[in-house]
Amino acid sequence: MPTPLAGYTSYKGLPPLAGLCSLEEAARPGLSVEECVRRLKRFHYAFKRLHHILTARITAEPVYELKTAFAHHAHLCAEHATAIRTRVGELREPPLGLDDVPHPALEAFFDELLAAPTTEELLVGLYRAAMPAIDAAMERYTRDTHPLTDAPTLRVLRFALMEAADMIWFGGMGINQLVGEAGEERMGDWVGVLNRQLDLAGGLDGTSSVGPAVPDGLSSRPAQPDLQDIPRRYSKTPYVYDPIPKRDERFTDPWNQGVNAEAFLYSEAYPPRAKALMMLYKRLREIDVPEMMASIISQTPGKPWGYYRDMSRQVWDEARHAMMGEVGFVALGVDWTQAKVTFNWSYRLNTECTPLERHGVLYFIEQGLMPKTGKRYEWEVAKDSGLPLMATLQDFDWADEVLHSQIGRQWYVPEFGGLQKALDFGDAAWSKILSNWAAVKEQGLTSHANWWPAVYGQACAAAGAEPDVAVMAFSETYEGKRADLARIAGE
């Protein structure tokens, strides 16, 4: 018997329903608003926890490619958590309950990931267990919900699914290269714990028949295993954030403060092309900003969600700035490992300052860039260098910096009730970090070797250019200086 739909046609064969789906698809019932909100709250929880876990691991993750990817993925997770929060707020839901734990087994699952003791286990937990689980749950949602009534959610999840696939791809590559099949097999017991925790939660979205164990009004469910039956492995004791920055073996001599990049860049004695090379060093050295900012985020609980979202955007930008440096060096035929990328700044701020002091130092540096020595100047030098790539890099570095200044104005300055007080606090916190230039030398941690001639020499050789004698001879260090060229207090 033909259905009523069979006789229905749109005007002149145009796609019906604004192109969302067919009439047949839209004529079927979908999920209730209540069920949509219930699942979306779980997706939100998962993205929020992933954001936190990825951020917490940036500082102490030695591998640069993972450090930068964690910054990227933390930002993506924060963005999707934000979009889902907004959508939940549109579904007759007062903005309550978004900070609740949807199921204790889900909480235990993410606690285990956060506490994963090695990079290898972290990768497997994140990219083999958590990300595929949220990906599958979002896929299920898009199949189950009504394509017309819930179109706004589908749009949000479409984007989230694309980026979840990107993250799973990257993580899979990481596992292939760094863990391997044998390594994954050795983690079988722990992965078993993770899977049982997810099962107990009814899957990531709570739709599987096993769960949820928490009373949900359906008293006919079979007896549930208890969370006590799944002993935690790594999260028995609460996770403690590791503030010590670590680098992989390509980053040698991490205490080296032997080349004062700002003194070179702001001097009138040197040509733009050589300055561009020094700017690439400054960009690559910015890997210490995610290392430091991750500590602020990880050690500053209880802020409104917007704080974490915005700060994570900045962490990702700073990781991109470091990668801009990497790209520039490679494009100029320079082995960047010859430039000594110190972690002195992130190490000392993370271990000697409070989170608010660290934020103050960051804000002071970003705000205190005078026009003469600021981002516009760097962009102009980049344009004058004759290297079009440099202009692209510095153009966007400048744009990002303007955004960061706004983020600081929104989340840092109000702590002090005024711009000047906020700047003074940051300046004082930075001055508190007395120069350790002599100390690290005396301790034998570095000789502050001047790496500049080797890097400059390589760039000249790759370009087939004769080195400039004055540029080659540059040998000013950071002895007694901060990177804004201020004398360090007491020096």
Site residues for Fe ion per CB under 5 A: 286, 318, 321, 404
Closer residue to Fe ion (CB): 286 or 427: 286
Report the nearest approach of Fe ion to the CB of residue 405 (Å). Answer: 8
Kindly report the number of other CB atoms within 10 A of residue 38's CB atom: 18
* CA separation for the pair 25, 292 (Å, rounded): 50
* CA separation for the pair 97, 366 (Å, rounded): 36
The answer to whether the beta carbons of residues 310 and 66 sit under 8 Å apart is: no
Closer residue to Fe ion (CB): 80 or 321: 321
Closer residue to Fe ion (CB): 111 or 286: 286
The answer to whether the beta carbons of residues 369 and 401 sit under 8 Å apart is: yes
Closer residue to Fe ion (CB): 47 or 412: 412
Report the nearest approach of Fe ion to the CB of residue 289 (Å). Answer: 6
CB neighbour list of residue 49: distance below 8 Å, 6 or more residues apart: 110, 113, 114
* CA separation for the pair 253, 449 (Å, rounded): 9
Report the nearest approach of Fe ion to the CB of residue 345 (Å). Answer: 12
Report the nearest approach of Fe ion to the CB of residue 112 (Å). Answer: 33
CA 394 to chain centre: 21
Report the nearest approach of Fe ion to the CB of residue 413 (Å). Answer: 15
Element (H, E) at 75: helix 64-89
Report the nearest approach of Fe ion to the CB of residue 322 (Å). Answer: 8
Q: How many residues does the chain have?
A: 491
Closer residue to Fe ion (CB): 286 or 378: 286
Which of 314, 308, 298 shows the shortest CA–CA distance to 363? 314
Report the nearest approach of Fe ion to the CB of residue 77 (Å). Answer: 21
Report the nearest approach of Fe ion to the CB of residue 390 (Å). Answer: 15
CB neighbour list of residue 395: distance below 8 Å, 6 or more residues apart: 379, 382
The answer to whether the beta carbons of residues 91 and 157 sit under 8 Å apart is: no
Rounded-to-10 torsion of CA 313, 318, 320, 326: -170
CA 313 to chain centre: 7
Closer residue to Fe ion (CB): 128 or 482: 482
Closer residue to Fe ion (CB): 310 or 318: 318
Closer residue to Fe ion (CB): 406 or 447: 406
